[in-house]
Amino acid sequence: MRSIKQPGPPTPERIQWVEARGRAFSFTLEAGLPLLESARRGFAAQGFVGGVLNIQDGALGPFAYVMPALSKTGVNAAFYSDTFRPAGITRLQIGAMTLGQRDGAPFFHCHALWTEADGRAGGGHILPEETVVAEPFAVEAFGIEGAMFVGEPDPETNFKLFGPVACAASAAETTSRAFALRLRPNQDLAGALQAFCRDRGITRAKLHGGVGSTIGVRFTDGRIVEPFATELAIRSGRIAARAGGALEAELDIAVVDYTGGLAEGRIECGDNPVLMTMELVLEVVDDAGS
């Protein structure tokens, strides 16, 4: 399997995880607010400090983003481009967001694909500090209790990355057992999730959110994204047992690579290693203990 040497030593635990409780819900992002504040208010209205969400469409402006890029210094295995600030309203097509905290304040990690006002198709990493909701739009969210994504220095990649940490639960209503996860580099995305579920007797699960990067992409229909530095959003994901009992992950994703190439589709299991990180929430739909 493909791999990329990271600047720091690998941590023995390759999946950072916290068991939690959670609940799926929908809400509408309020226009005229920064995207970060609008998302925070939507979760807070349901009693949650954070969680993950998926975007199917939406309008942003002002809008700022970066793309994946090669590292100029070697301090990181890959890095970010300069900041882009397209004029007018940018129309989102698909995206995923992790809402948590960094430096003691609300923060998000969000990857998306979109169309800019001049018709240019683009994708990348949305900047929380400079992006505003231009028109109200609905999102699908999953709030978590007992866990939170917190931005912390990661010696392996030399980035400050979101990872789940345990926290005190509040009084938010929850419906499901869930796990907040961060997958570390150089392990197959689908395979790692299958193994995680198998080790815990989980036979069916649904993925929520899903923000990270892979070393290129291999799709089930044979398409290949060759450039190694990507930014990826999971559109939808499920894990279930096949007829023979083995678990199978079905993951539909959207991705932009460092050359600006865009792609969407279902990824091949066993051939899509994580580049830097992958954050998501896994909701247990059915397991051996239920």
Residue 16 forms part of a structural domain? no
DSSP 215-234: EEEEBTTS-EEEEEEEEEEE
Residues 88 and 191 in one domain: no
Give me the pLDDT at residue 286, please: 75
Residue 171 forms part of a structural domain? no
Residue 134 forms part of a structural domain? yes
Tell me the C-alpha distance between 35 and 107, whole Å: 10
Residue 95 forms part of a structural domain? yes
Give me the pLDDT at residue 169, please: 82
Q: What is the amino acid identity at position 92?
A: L
Q: Are 253 and 267 in contact (CB under 8 A)?
A: yes
Nearest to 26 by CA among 191, 136, 140: 140
Give me the pLDDT at residue 53, please: 98
Pairing of strands 262-266, 247-257: antiparallel
Give me the pLDDT at residue 127, please: 98
Give me the pLDDT at residue 289, please: 39
Q: Exposed, middle or buried: residue 226 (CB in 10 Å: 0-12, 13-18, 19+)?
A: exposed
Residue 151 forms part of a structural domain? no
Give me the pLDDT at residue 214, please: 98
Q: Which residue, 125, 144, 163, sits at the end of a domain? A: 144
Nearest to 97 by CA among 175, 41, 149, 60: 149
CB atoms within 10 A of CB 46: 15
Give me the pLDDT at residue 209, please: 98
Residues 129 and 216 in one domain: no
CB atoms within 10 A of CB 4: 16
Predicted model pTM: 0.96
Tokens representing 186 are: 């150089």
Q: Are 108 and 128 in contact (CB under 8 A)?
A: yes
**Does an H or E element contain 281, and which?**
strand 274-287
Q: Which residue, 144, 165, 186, sits at the end of a domain? A: 144
User: What is the tally of structural domains in the chain?
Assistant: 2
Residues 121 and 38 in one domain: yes
Per-residue confidence of the chain (290 residues) as pLDDT tens digits? 899 999 999 999 999 999 999 999 999 999 999 999 999 999 999 999 999 999 999 999 999 999 999 999 999 999 999 999 999 999 999 999 999 999 999 999 999 999 999 999 999 999 999 999 999 999 999 999 999 999 999 999 999 999 999 999 888 999 999 999 999 999 999 999 999 999 999 999 999 999 999 999 999 999 999 999 999 999 999 999 988 889 999 999 999 999 999 999 999 999 999 999 999 999 999 744 33
Residues 137 and 26 in one domain: yes
Q: Which residue, 144, 170, 196, sits at the end of a domain? A: 144
Give me the pLDDT at residue 170, please: 81
For 77-116, the pLDDT digits (tens) are: 999 999 999 999 999 999 999 999 999 999 999 999 999 9
Give me the pLDDT at residue 263, please: 98
The C-alpha angle with vertex 280 and arms to 192 and 139, in degrees rounded to 5, equals 145
Give me the pLDDT at residue 288, please: 43
Residues 100 and 207 in one domain: no
187-225: buried (b, 16+ CB within 10 Å) or exposed (e) per residue?
Answer: bbbbbbbbebbeebebbbbbbbbbbbbbbbbbbeeeeeb
Residues 183 and 267 in one domain: yes
Residue 253 forms part of a structural domain? yes
Residue 111 forms part of a structural domain? yes
Residues 183 and 79 in one domain: no
CATH code of the domain in which 35 resides: 3.30.1330.80
Structural domain for 276, as ranges: 178-287
Residue 82 forms part of a structural domain? yes
